[in-house]
Amino acid sequence: MSDLHEECGVAAVYHLSIGETSPLAPPQGRNEVSRLIPRMLLDLQNRGQLAAGITSYNPSREQLIDTHKDVGSVSEVFHLSHRADYHSLMDRYVGCAAIGHVRYATTGQEDRSYAQPFERHHIKKYKWFSFAFNGQLSNYHDLREQILQDENASLARDTDMEVLLHFLCTAVAQESKTGDPDPLAICRRFSEKLDGSYSLVYLNAHGQLFVARDPLGIKPLLYAFDGSLFAAASESVALFNLGFKSEQIKNVEPGQVIIVDGKSVRFERFAESHRSAHCFFEWAYFANVASTLDDRSVYLARKRLGEEMAIQEDIPLDEDSIVVPVPDTAKAAADGMAYKLGVPCLEGLIRNRYSGRTFIESGEYRWRKAETKYTPLEEVLKGKRVFLVEDSIVRSTTMRVLLKRIREVGKAKEVHVRPACPPIIAPCFYGTDMSTYGQLFVTPFFHKTGKPISQWRTDRALEDEMAKDLGADSLRFLSHEALFRALDLPAERLCLACINNEYPTPWGTRLAAEAFEQYKANPSSAEIQNGK
């Protein structure tokens, strides 16, 4: 799964002027709460390492809201390795409220102008705002065309952020005709246009902050409140490490907006939510293993995924059998599988944490870089029957590299691949970087069966064919039923589009149908999966 892009992450903090001062707030005073944002973003760094940023609000300075953002990791953007530079930066952006963001690109380019938060300047305080979001607008291209039908309109960037900015501005303008706009009314108005996923943080020059989660709750968003301190983040670990207790950390409900100013916190519903569609990949891969999302522990979910793999295991075990995780996110699943099977779980692959991310590369260079990312340990792997546990197989580039190196460098006797997930059979249009069928490893195998996508399920013969193509001795995908048991969530509460081709929004369904027609028309144009 290291050849799959991760998601973005958002954070927000507000030190209210009412109530008892929270012991979790910075000791320097109310206007220093913005200093918490870099620490929160570090805990969300797993969700994006391409860019990071902060917008703070301070009523005591001319620049009421001000934004700092750049391409790079949180440490690089906030100069965390240079104490003087870091403190100078934080002194400039001190404020009683702030929002932050870590990014990877589902749309848009890898340069500073695409980094978030996006700030929109205006002479009117309620029209001067900044925002950031985690997600993807499925109807982005349609919305973009609607905007450009106005000959006086222009969009400078190829990103759904700019489209969302347009609709936020329109909603603010429409709601301000009768006075200062209510954030609840703004959310109701702009959400009518959107199809897709979004967890949104917003801050304006009036000192109003709001956080909102899309009506299906596809992306996670949590909040906590302690005395005078309000905070929100994409994952619970960012709140827990600020000092909030587990019972204080709660989920923003689908379709809910939380509005905060200097003296109050309001909980409102801006859209009806007829069902939830939480992205199951959050538990399988994306989220920090220390997080709890929608009342489900990420660690325990992954551990149970491993136990389910053990239950369905059909390869004979002997004294040479070992379970080896692909670092790092497969570790919990591997531990669960090994414990259930009663065989050792050993670190047969060591990850070079400083080699960078292979998924941002392409072609031959990406293949070569993947080779340097993991070091097989011959002393662990030699002569062993290895059960290699991975989060999933999406494009297969990294898996092919690993199998080759485990055999040639590690000298393993056998390698049996065990993804802790069902096969990825369909693209995602909600924030994960896999938007075509041709990108997916399993597509050509299922396609040649002639069955409709709704019936794409693996059997032993098909898994054996895939294993041979990968260079593995066997391949066993997790069943859908095992996934639901591990997550302890029914299918109707999850977004499972990438494993069952059933999309929770109209535009997701439409884009998938168009993408499959394009694949059928020219399957030979699919992205080659062997790293070349």
DSSP code for 52: E
Nearest to 93 by CA among 113, 117, 127: 117
H or E, element range at 9:
strand 9-15
User: Which residue is associated with the tokens 């009412």?
Assistant: 18
* Bond into 314 cis (ω within 30): no
Residue 428, token pair as written in the block: 């995602």
Residue ranges of the alpha helices (H) in 54-101?
Answer: 74-77, 83-92
Q: Reduced to 3 states, what is the DSSP secondary structure of residue 510? A: helix
- Kindly list the distances between the CA atom of residue 366 and the CA atoms of 1, 108, 352, 405, 471, in Å, as whole numbers in the listed order: 14, 21, 15, 15, 19
- Nearest-angstrom CA–CA distance, 77 and 74: 5
Pairing outcome for strands 250-251 and 256-260? unpaired
- Nearest-angstrom CA–CA distance, 329 and 6: 12
DSSP characters over 183-225 = HHHHHHHHHTT--EEEEEEEEETTS-EEEEE-TT--S--EEEE
Nearest to 249 by CA among 286, 290, 277, 217: 290
Residue 511: φ, ψ to 5° = -65, -35
Q: Is the dihedral of CA 206, 22, 27, 47 positive or negative?
A: negative
Residue 8, token pair as written in the block: 């973005």
Say if residue 170 is exposed, middle or buried (CB neighbours under 10 Å; 0-12, 13-18, 19+): middle
The verdict on whether 428 is a catalytic residue reads no
The partner residues of 450 in beta bridges, in order of sequence, read none
Q: State which amino acid sits at residue 506.
A: P
- Nearest-angstrom CA–CA distance, 40 and 365: 33
- Nearest-angstrom CA–CA distance, 349 and 380: 9
User: Which residue is associated with the tokens 């995780």?
Assistant: 325
Pairing outcome for strands 97-103 and 118-120? unpaired
**Straight-line distance from the first to the last Cα atom of the chain, in angstroms, rounded to the nearest whole number:** 18
Q: Which of 8, 187, 428, 498 is catalytic?
A: 8
Residue 89, token pair as written in the block: 């930066």
Residue positions annotated with a catalytic role: 8
